[in-house]
Structure 1
Amino acid sequence: MRATCQVRVLGGFAVAVDGRPVPGDVWRNRRAADVVKLLAVAPDHRLHREQVMDRLWPDLPADAAGANLRKAVFYARRALGRADAVRCEGRLLTLWPGGDLDVDLDRFQRAADAALASGDAERCALAAAGYRGGLLVDDRYECWVAEPHEKVEGRYAALLRAAGDWERLLDLDETDEQAHRAVMRRHLAAGRRGEALRQFDRLRRTLRERIGVGPDAETVELYESALSLDAAEPPSPAQRAAVALANGLVAFGRRHLAEAERLARQARVLALDADLGHELGEASTLLALVAHARGTWHRLFREEFADAVRHPSRPVVYDAHLCLQEFYLYGPEGHDGAESFGRDLLDIASRAGSAAGRALAYLLLGEFALLSGRLDDAVTTLGESLGEAERAGCGSARSLALERRAEAEARRGDPAAARADLDEALPLARSSRIPSHLVIRVHGVRVLAAGTLGGALGAIREAERWLTEAPHVCDPCSMGFRIAAATACANAGSPSRARPHLAEAERISGLWQGGPWTAALWEVRAEVRRAQGQRTRATALFLEAAERFAAMRRPLEERRCRAAAASLSDR
């Protein structure tokens, strides 16, 4: 009787030989398991030796990688209990060539192909039910898993689409606009107008946060038709603002800048009148994007700022200016010109006698000092911002000033002072009108100010718990936390724990091209490579980060990266 080997790669990794599970502790040599995984997902379950070496040991010379491969194959054969479990014939490696091999991925792919070819929705639903989870979920951040994972997930998505299983498709990809529209239409057909409106709001926020766009015209038209249906109540200000923002993003995507600006201002007025902090932030961001595209950002902000400080306003107005200001500092242009611009704003606010205006101006000046590496100046100036924000009763500005001052204190070696500021900032952020922007920023600096790696990992766990419970988190504002968390995990010798945070940071950075976060990503990649023992690759990445920080005029970060590269070269 031919020996059988069953390999599971969907939802996790497991092997059984002749019906008996291979215990997990048999895979003490991790690369032995990796060889089996690679061959299990490869076409015909075979690969050239060079392909395996390149995927598992990309940084090693061929001789060293070859020695590692021979060792891994030896331990794989031992784990599977057969000398021919992995056959090396010429330059080719083959998994279980002398017996019957059953891989769950093969069964799923055959069923999926047959169902999709039939075009039958029920067959597609049945085939989709055979998908037991993502490919090699414990290895999802390994580079060699990305391509096969993308292929199998794409096939699963095609099955769900053909079956009309829109909810599960949204569980897989929450940005799928066709699925959102189908769910909206289903709600409307059942008379659930409110559910359809909420589905649109979920889509709008998801698209904005995750890929930096708005719904397309077809979806906006469906939403407007839902709003126009007979209802007990007319559309709320939030719903009207949502329509304006969605249409504004459509206009911006088509480069109809005048229309995008008109709609952004319309949404901004609705948000101000109804005290809608989140919608106000979105409207301000859209205004900033339009102004940046036109090259008129400074004029726009100066006019908005001057109008706010010359007329009595509620604190929510200043929340909008905080969003505009952060876009300026951390956007693609960096912080060039921030100091003279900040002093201009301070003069406007002082002549108007506006404490809230002075708080924002000092905040801009303090952040400029921090980004420029003048830490003592940053602490002093951010203290001025804090005092003015307290006088103005502006909680959001107080939270942001405390958080930025805490980062300056942590970076100049005073973590105790930083933690005291953060303890004061966190409740202010939680109770503000824009907690989705402010709370995660505080968590990011708490990682920096922890003082020990154990403390940093504890701060990361606390932030991760909050992220799972938060209904909405601003992606750009979460970059500081993602960068700090990935760095701390890598420094603690856990690159696998760093990778999810690095992956999130890379996704968000793709929405916000250029700026200091791009440089920070190169530094984090270097830290992960260093944690993996890949010194040559880490050195090159640290130097790349240093060059990018230098271009952004970030001297502290540049020196830190050059020092890290030098320390690796000296060993």
Structure 2
Amino acid sequence: MSIDAPRVPPQRAANHGEVANTIRVITLGQFAVLRDGVEIPHPDWQSRKARNLFKLLVCRHGRSVPREVAADLLWPEQPGPPGNRFSVALSTVRKVLDPSHRHPADHFVCAEDGAVRLRCENVEIDIASFLRLSRDATVAVSRGDWSRAEDLLRSAEQLYAGEFLEEDQYVDWAVPCREEARSAALGVLRMLAHVSQSRGDPLATVAHLQRILELDPYDEAAWLDLIAVESAHRHHGEARRLHTVYNLRMLEIGVAAAPLPPVSMVGPGVSNESFKPLPFRDPKGV
């Protein structure tokens, strides 16, 4: 689950007249739209507003957005009826997704009753797949089906290449979707850490706990588990260093930090109160 997302390699289209019927949207770690496996070049969007309209529709997960609401979000400096500018942006989005008009106009983006929505049944979106895998893994864990849960967790981990729409960190309408994905990612990592811990794999456990803290540096449970793992394997210097950083993070949010466990309390194969299985919480919003 890398925080630095790999870029989509450029590809050249080889159009032999086939119907363009596959649209894949990448939102985790970067934003890219692939038409039949080929990334749509940035200039094809013609305007930032058209690109942002499509992103907004992706954020809505197929739910309708009234034209007036969309216009207010995309053109906050121009209040009032959406007018022609919204129609132009919508037309541009449809043209980008289906430049040869091989589908009905509403095949990818439907406009009806004064609202627009993305027809998700005709579009593959990574965040939708990621959230579905996370939910299914949580259900599998609740049923004790660890084999299925681990397969789902590994697939989810691969999909979460970074935060949702990283290039739009300061866009308010992207925040709910970003937080939903981050919460789900934290849940996936907690469960993977538990799996690694149960198997006696400290390196994998530490890696997953560190990734949790990359996403949420104030996750006290992850700090305490990480410190306990290092102490349990007699990495006392690393445990002390981590505890110092943990203290600083808790101080930043006004939380009293737990003391560093005495060396005598921990060691390989020795039970420690703070070194216990991670809780399986249904990630918020998932």
Same topology, TM > 0.5? yes
Residue pair 2:134, 2:184 contacting (<8 A) in 1 also: yes
State whether structure 2 residue 214 is matched by structure 1 residue 171. Answer: yes
- Show the counterpart of 1:122: 150
Shift of 1:109: 1.0
Question: Between Structure 1 and Structure 2, which shows a larger proportion of helix residues?
Answer: 1
Q: 1:31 aligns with which of 39, 49, 57?
A: 49
Q: Which has the higher contact order (CA 8 A, sep 6+)?
A: 2
- Show the counterpart of 2:128: 106
Residue pair 2:27, 2:164 contacting (<8 A) in 1 also: yes
How does the TM-score come out when normalised to structure 1? Answer: 0.36
For residues 137 and 164 of structure 2, the distance between their equivalents in structure 1, rounded to whole angstroms, comes to 20
For residues 39 and 238 of structure 2, the distance between their equivalents in structure 1, rounded to whole angstroms, comes to 47
For residues 126 and 204 of structure 1, the distance between their equivalents in structure 2, rounded to whole angstroms, comes to 34
Q: 2:73 aligns with which of 51, 55, 59?
A: 55
* Map 1:45-444 → 2, pairs under 5 A: 46-63=64-81, 65-80=82-97, 81=99, 82=101, 83-84=105-106, 85-96=108-119, 100-119=122-141, 120=146, 122-123=150-151, 124-164=153-193, 165-209=208-252, 211=253, 213-216=254-257, 219-220=258-259, 223-226=260-263
Give the partner amino acid of 1:73. Answer: L
Shift in alpha-carbon separation, 1:93–1:215, aligned structure 2, 3 A:
same
For residues 68 and 12 of structure 1, the distance between their equivalents in structure 2, rounded to whole angstroms, comes to 27
Residue pair 1:46, 1:93 contacting (<8 A) in 2 also: yes
SS of aligned partner of 1:184: helix
Shift in alpha-carbon separation, 1:96–1:125, aligned structure 2, 3 A:
closer
For residues 52 and 59 of structure 1, the distance between their equivalents in structure 2, rounded to whole angstroms, comes to 13
After superposition, what is the alpha-carbon deviation per residue over 1:97-129, rounded to whole angstroms, capped at 9, x for unaligned? 7x7211111111111111111114634344223
Identity across the alignment (%): 29
Shift of 1:86: 2.7
Give the partner amino acid of 2:248. Answer: R
Q: Could you list the runs of 5+ residues in structure 2 that have no partner in the other structure?
A: 1-18, 194-207, 267-286
Residue pair 2:164, 2:178 contacting (<8 A) in 1 also: yes
For residues 88 and 65 of structure 2, the distance between their equivalents in structure 1, rounded to whole angstroms, comes to 17
Shift in alpha-carbon separation, 1:180–1:122, aligned structure 2, 3 A:
same
SS of aligned partner of 1:7: strand
- Root-mean-square deviation (CA), in Å? 2.3
Shift in alpha-carbon separation, 1:183–1:79, aligned structure 2, 3 A:
same
SS of aligned partner of 2:262: helix
SS of aligned partner of 2:123: strand
State whether structure 2 residue 21 is matched by structure 1 residue 6. Answer: no
Shift in alpha-carbon separation, 1:126–1:73, aligned structure 2, 3 A:
closer
Shift of 1:201: 0.1
After superposition, what is the alpha-carbon deviation per residue over 1:61-83, rounded to whole angstroms, capped at 9, x for unaligned? 222x3432112112222222244
SS of aligned partner of 2:251: helix
Give the partner amino acid of 2:157. Answer: A
Residue pair 2:126, 2:159 contacting (<8 A) in 1 also: no
Give the partner amino acid of 2:150. Answer: E
Shift of 1:96: 4.8
Shift of 1:207: 2.5
Residue pair 2:72, 2:79 contacting (<8 A) in 1 also: no
Greater than 6 Å deviation, 4+ residue runs: none
After superposition, what is the alpha-carbon deviation per residue over 1:510-554, rounded to whole angstroms, capped at 9, x for unaligned? xxxxxxxxxxxxxxxxxxxxxxxxxxxxxxxxxxxxxxxxxxxxx
For residues 38 and 242 of structure 2, the distance between their equivalents in structure 1, rounded to whole angstroms, comes to 47
Give the partner amino acid of 1:89. Answer: E
> How many residue pairs get matched?
221
After superposition, what is the alpha-carbon deviation per residue over 1:194-214, rounded to whole angstroms, capped at 9, x for unaligned? 2111111011112324x2x24
Give the partner amino acid of 1:90. Answer: D
SS of aligned partner of 1:133: coil
For residues 181 and 32 of structure 2, the distance between their equivalents in structure 1, rounded to whole angstroms, comes to 18
After superposition, what is the alpha-carbon deviation per residue over 1:485-526, rounded to whole angstroms, capped at 9, x for unaligned? xxxxxxxxxxxxxxxxxxxxxxxxxxxxxxxxxxxxxxxxxx
SS of aligned partner of 1:51: helix
For residues 113 and 246 of structure 2, the distance between their equivalents in structure 1, rounded to whole angstroms, comes to 53
